[in-house]
């Protein structure tokens, strides 16, 4: 956000242009701040020597009576997008006792350009580059994986069906995140308007975020059920999991959206809901529960696998190679996928030396999840690799056979046609 963009959103004498809130919410906040301003002025009722600039509420902040030729200072408002409340705004009083007027708008103007933390803004832009790069790479890998699993029909089974649903949820989530960063986060005016569509995008985005973890939990439930309850019908199990993976996140997100939409707290309703708000726990808790359940499932799977492998054939059916591969992939993915949510309680405070390291870790683990899923469940899947080898060997064999047939045909034609022109008979 440069100074010209910021200046266009500055409040004038009595109006507040470019609000981050809806009109009703803005009206309430403005009235509350006006009341606070009147209280402050009534406590300090002494007037400076004339000429002086009279006290004024500009729509964002309260400015006291200020002697001519001096500058008034006030903390930056916390409810404006991109403003750091720890910084200071200022307003200049001209030598003739009038407030400074902006040369372009010719209206009384408060200088809030100092409210933007340029260093932090630049850092956030760099983080956004990491997010966008990670989500783009992950999306490409996921689309390739879906194409591979769709192309090789011989791979179709219950486990691959779960993988494909997991890939689809990650791909949709990545697309929505790219739209969010490209059209919402980078668009100051859209954030300030706080329209219905950008809030709807926020809700859909977090729905698909929850489906990622729901389908990871489905993967864990599937492995655990097949290994612990060997006689379970895979077809029925997949049906139950399909009824869990998509609808349950929808219920959670609907409750979350309803809570935010009916909240009176500006932190829940401003700037396209880009801030975490008071109800972020509705999204964080299900993810943490999903990750912890998967860890419990995997611990029990490890116990069962070790028991079966140590006991040998006497214990009964041994775990298949494909199941062991799926287990290893899930074991690696579960802590990775939920890592940045599990460490949220340990998030460093603002300005802490570890804050940037935490932000980078969160950006990498969140944006490259799709790539990790595609690598572990598709590109490194033994069955997929076997299909590619079979396809390659079949193509190479067909090419070799075709070349052999061509050479035989040419040889046969030459031998039956006799000597070519210019050759002598012996």
Reply yes or no on whether the pLDDT at 335 is more than 80.
no
What gap in Å lies between CA 285 and CA 354, rounded to an integer?
Answer: 24
The predicted-structure confidence for 199-221, as pLDDT tens digits, reads as follows 899 999 999 999 998 998 898 88
Residues 118-387, CATH architecture = Up-down Bundle (1.20)
Q: What is the CA radius of gyration of the chain?
A: 32
Q: Could you tell me if 247 and 164 are in contact, meaning their C-beta atoms sit under 8 angstroms apart?
A: no
Segment 135-151 shows an average pLDDT of 93
Q: What is the pLDDT of residue 327?
A: 66
The mean pLDDT value for 229-251 works out to: 86
Judging by beta carbons within 10 Å of its beta carbon (0-12, 13-18, 19+), is residue 246 exposed, middle or buried?
middle
| pLDDT for 422 | 43
Q: Tell me the mean pLDDT in the region 39-51.
A: 78
Angle at 340 between CA 334 and CA 346, to 5 degrees: 125
Q: Give the CA distances from residue 376 to residues 131, 163, 167, in Å, rounded to whole numbers and listed in that order.
A: 21, 11, 12
Residue 10 pLDDT greater than 50, yes or no: no
What pLDDT score does 328 carry?
67
Percent of the chain with pLDDT over 90: 16
Say if residue 308's pLDDT is above 50. Answer: yes
- Asked whether 73 and 27 are in contact (CB, 8 A), the reply is no
Q: How does DSSP classify residue 12?
A: -
Q: Token pair of 98, please?
A: 């009038």
Cβ atoms of 283 and 255 closer than 8 Å: no
Closest CA to 60 of 17, 103, 117, 113: 17
Dist CA 392 CA 410 (whole Å): 27
Mean pLDDT of the chain: 78
Packing angle between helix 118-151 and helix 355-367, nearest 10 degrees? 20
Query: Mutual orientation of helices 196-228 and 281-311 as an angle, nearest 10°?
Result: 20
Distance CA 275, CA 186 (A): 14
The two three-digit tokens of residue 304, written as one number? 């069962």
Rounded to whole angstroms, how far apart are CA atoms 136 and 44? 57
Instruction: Report the Cα–Cα distance between both ends of the chain, in Å, rounded.
Output: 93
CA angle 308, 314, 316 (to 5 degrees): 65
d(CA 247, CA 241): 10
* pLDDT of res. 7: 41
DSSP string, 342-395: HTGGGPPPTT-TTHHHHHHHHHHHHHTHHHHHHIIIIIT-HHHHHHHHHHHHHH
Domain covering 3-115 assigned CATH 3.30.300.30 in the classification: no
CB 135 within 8 A of CB 367: yes
Q: What residue segments make up the domains of the chain, in order of their start?
A: 3-115, 118-387
Residue 273 predicted with pLDDT over 70: yes
Lowest mean pLDDT, pick from 73-87, 98-112, 212-226, 239-253: 73-87
Mean pLDDT of 146-173: 89
Rounded to whole angstroms, what are the CA distances from 339 to 108, 344, 375?
A: 50, 9, 18
**Is the CB of residue 141 less than 8 Å from the CB of residue 370?**
yes
Per-residue pLDDT reduced to its tens digit, 344-390: 556 777 777 888 888 888 888 888 888 988 988 888 888 888 888 88
The per-residue pLDDT for 26 is 64
């Amino acid at each position: 956000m440069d100074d010209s963009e910021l200046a266009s959103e500055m409040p004038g004498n009595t109006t507040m242009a470019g609000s981050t809130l809806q009109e009703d919410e803005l009206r309430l906040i403005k009235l509350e701040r006006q009341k606070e301003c009147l209280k402050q002025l009534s406590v300090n009722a002494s007037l400076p020597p004339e000429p002086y600039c009279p006290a004024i509420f500009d729509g964002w902040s309260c400015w006291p009576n200020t002697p001519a030729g001096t500058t008034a200072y006030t903390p930056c408002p916390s409810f404006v997008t991109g403003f750091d409340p720890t910084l200071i705004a200022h307003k200049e009083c001209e030598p003739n006792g009038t407030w400074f007027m902006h040369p372009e708008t010719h209206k009384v103007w408060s200088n809030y350009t100092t409210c933007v933390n340029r260093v932090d803004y630049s850092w956030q832009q760099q983080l956004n580059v990491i997010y966008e790069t990670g989500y783009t790479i992950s999306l490409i890998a996921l689309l390739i994986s879906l194409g591979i699993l769709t192309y090789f029909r011989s791979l179709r089974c219950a486990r691959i069906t779960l993988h494909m649903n997991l890939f689809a949820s990650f791909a949709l989530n990545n697309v929505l995140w790219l739209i969010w960063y490209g059209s919402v986060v980078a668009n100051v005016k859209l954030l300030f308007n706080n329209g219905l569509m950008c809030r709807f995008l926020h809700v859909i985005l977090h729905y698909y975020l929850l489906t990622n973890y729901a389908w990871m939990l489905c993967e864990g439930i599937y492995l655990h059920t097949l290994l612990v309850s060997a006689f379970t019908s895979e077809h029925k199990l997949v049906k139950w999991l399909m009824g869990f993976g998509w609808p349950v996140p929808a219920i959670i997100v609907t409750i979350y959206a309803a809570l935010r939409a009916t909240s009176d707290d500006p932190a829940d309703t401003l700037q396209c809901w880009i801030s975490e708000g008071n109800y972020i726990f509705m999204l964080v808790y299900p993810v943490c529960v999903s990750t912890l359940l998967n860890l419990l499932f995997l611990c029990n799977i490890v116990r069962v696998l070790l028991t079966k492998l140590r006991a040998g054939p006497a214990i009964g059916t041994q775990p298949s190679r494909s199941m062991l591969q799926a287990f290893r992939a899930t074991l690696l993915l579960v802590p990775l996928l939920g890592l940045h949510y599990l460490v949220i309680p340990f998030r460093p405070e603002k300005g802490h030396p570890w804050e940037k390291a935490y932000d980078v870790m969160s950006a990498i683990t969140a944006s490259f999840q799709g790539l990790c899923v595609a690598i572990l469940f598709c590109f490194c899947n033994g069955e997929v690799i076997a299909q590619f080898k079979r396809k390659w060997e079949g193509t190479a064999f067909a090419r070799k056979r075709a070349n052999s047939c061509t050479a035989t045909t040419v040889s046969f034609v030459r031998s039956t046609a006799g000597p070519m022109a210019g050759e002598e008979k012996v």
